Amino acid sequence: MSNITEEFVRRMVTGKPVARIVPDADVRGFCVRLTQAGTVFYIFDYYFRGKRHKLTIGDAGAWTVERARKKAREWRVKVDDGHDPLAERHEWKNEPTFAALAAAYMKDAKARKRESSLRDDCQMLGMNDNGEPKADKNEAQKKKRILTVLGEHRLAEIKQSDIARFHESLREAPYRANRVLALLSAVFNYGIDKKWTTENPARGIEKFPEEKRERFLTIEEMQKLRESIEGYHDVSARDALLLLMLTGSREGEVLKAEWEEFDLARGVWTKPSHHTKQKKDEHIPLSGPALKLLESMQTPGATGPLFPGRERKEKSCTARVSLRRPWVQACKAAGLVREIAVEGKRRGKDGEPVKLTRYRPTLRVHDLRHNFASHLASNGVSLQVVGKLLGHTQASTTMRYAHLQDEALRSATNKFGRIFEQAPKAGKRRA
C-alpha cells in the first residue's frame, strides 16, 4: 500500500479501464476508485456501527489528490468521534434553500402585507408572483436580486459575512440596500419562527446612513408639474396624479379608492381601514379643487374603482396598480428629471452594448404627500391638523415638518414688529 499521488491517478485514467479500488497509505479509508467506464473518483470507505459505507468525495477531474485527502481526513476524525458523514450528507441534502424559505415567507405575507409592499419585496427578491426566481436579462440588475445571490444556498451555509458582502455591494443605493437588509432579516426571522432554521445571519449588520428626504416643490415647480399633468394624454392617470397632489394621500389609497367612499355633498372622503397604512378608517375633508376634480370625473351611478385597470373580471372591475410611467412622463415634461445612461440590448460595431438615455425623476410620487404637508406646515397650519389630514396616529411622525413652521412663526412675530414700529410715540400723540 502506498500514498495516492497525482501521477498514480493519471496512470489510472490513461490506462485500460479495469474496475478497482486503491486505498491510501496515509489516511485510513481514503481511496481512489476506477469504474469500468473509465471514470475515476475519490471515495471514503469506512465502517460505522458495524456497517460499511462508501462515500463519494468527488471526481478526480475536479478534485486534486490533496484536497480529496483533506476531506477524507476530516471525515475520518468525525467517524472516530462517533459521527456518521453519510447521515450528515443526507441531512444536508434535505436542508432547505433560501429560495424555498423566501417562497414560504411571501406566501404567508400575502395575507398581511399591502399589495405595494408585496410588489416591492418581490422586486428585491427577484421573484415572480408564483414564488419562482424571475428571469432578468440585465446582468447588472440581476446581481442586485436576493435570489440571484443567495437563492440556491442552503440555510445553514449562509453566514453573516455573506449578507454583509451583499449589502456592501448595494452601497450606491443606501436606501434600497437597507430595505434589502431589512427584508433578509424578516425572512430569516420567519424561518426561525417556523423552525426552518435557528440563526438570523442578517442580524447585527450595520445599516448605511440615511438622510431623511425633505423634497417638496416650490410654487413654480408645482405649477409646472400641474400643467404637465393636466396635459397628459391618459385621463385616468392625469386625474389620479391630481388627486394625489390635492389630498396628500398615499398612492395605494388613491388607486384603490372607490366611489362608495366619497360623500361629495359633504365633501368627505372616508378611507376604509383595509386601504390605509394604520389599518383604521380615516375621514378626510376635501378641498374645493379636489371636489371639483371628483365631480368632473363622476358619471351617473358611478360605482367601483375611481381608476379602473386594464384587467377586468366578468362582473367586476379591478383597480389600476401603478402610476410609474405617467409619473416619469409628467416629471419629464415639467423638467423635474435627470438623464442617466443605461446599457441597451443591442450592441454596437465595437461589440459593446449601445448606451441609451433614460430619464429619472428628481422626486418620487410619494413626495407629493410631503409636498402637501410641507406647504401646509410652512403656511401656519398646526402639526396636529397636518397629521390628521395625513392619517398619522403618532404625533412624532408629523414632527418631521416642525422646522417648516419656523417661517410661519417668523412671519407672525414680524407682524408684531411692524405693529410695534408703527405705533406712535407718546410725545407725538400729545403734539
Dihedral sign for Cα 158, 159, 165, 168, please.
positive
Q: Judge whether 276 lies within some domain.
A: no
Q: Name 317's bridge partners.
A: 312
CA distance 262 to 291: 10
In a shared domain, residues 81 and 132: no
In a shared domain, residues 177 and 122: yes
Q: Judge whether 307 lies within some domain.
A: no
Express each pLDDT in 228-245 by its tens digit. Answer: 999 999 999 999 999 999
Among residues 159, 193, 227, which one ends one of the domains? 193
Place of cell 395625513: 390
Express each pLDDT in 398-424 by its tens digit. Answer: 888 887 777 667 777 777 777 777 876
Among residues 36, 62, 93, which one ends one of the domains? 93
Q: Judge whether 28 lies within some domain.
A: yes
CA distance 413 to 401: 20
DSSP letter string, 234-263 = -HHHHHHHHHHHHH---HHHHHH-BGGGEE
Beta strand segments in 265-336, E: 268-271, 282-285, 308-312, 317-319
Express each pLDDT in 313-336 by its tens digit. Answer: 545 578 888 899 999 999 999 999
In a shared domain, residues 141 and 79: no
Measured between alpha carbons, how far is residue 286 from residues 243, 289, 295, 396 in Å? Answer: 10, 8, 12, 25
Express each pLDDT in 282-316 by its tens digit. Answer: 899 999 999 999 999 998 888 899 999 876 554 55
CA distance 167 to 144: 9
Dihedral (Cα; 260, 263, 268, 269), 10-degree rounding = 10
Q: What would the mean pLDDT of 134-143 be, rounded to a whole number?
A: 72
Question: Who wins on pLDDT, 345 or 75?
Answer: 75
Place of cell 405595494: 116
Determine the pLDDT at residue 296.
94
Express each pLDDT in 74-133 by its tens digit. Answer: 999 999 999 888 887 776 666 788 998 999 999 999 888 877 788 899 999 998 877 777
Express each pLDDT in 57-72 by its tens digit. Answer: 999 888 999 999 999 9
Q: Name 52's bridge partners.
A: 47
Per-residue burial over 132-146, b if 16 or more Cβ lie within 10 Å, else e, is ebbeeeeeeebebbb
Let me know: does 318 contact 312? Beta carbons within 8 Å. yes
- Is the pLDDT at 274 greater than 60? The verdict is yes
In this structure, the number of other CB atoms found within 10 A of the CB of residue 197 comes to 22
Q: What would the mean pLDDT of 173-188 be, rounded to a whole number?
A: 94
CA distance 37 to 119: 51
Let me know: does 26 contact 2? Beta carbons within 8 Å. no
Q: Are strands 353-361 and 337-347 parallel, antiparallel or unpaired?
A: antiparallel
CATH no. for residue 37? Answer: 3.30.160.390
CA distance 177 to 168: 8
The tally of domains found in the chain comes to: 2
Among residues 148, 174, 193, which one ends one of the domains? 193
Q: Judge whether 349 lies within some domain.
A: no
Domain encompassing residue 129: 98-193
pTM of the model: 0.62
Q: Judge whether 124 lies within some domain.
A: yes
Name the percent of the chain lying above pLDDT 70.
92
CA distance 418 to 430: 22
Q: Judge whether 327 lies within some domain.
A: no
In a shared domain, residues 42 and 108: no
Measured between alpha carbons, how far is residue 157 from residues 61, 98, 230, 237, 262 in Å? Answer: 25, 10, 54, 47, 54
In a shared domain, residues 87 and 120: no
Over its C-alpha atoms, the chain yields an Rg (Å, rounded) of: 33
CA distance 83 to 344: 54
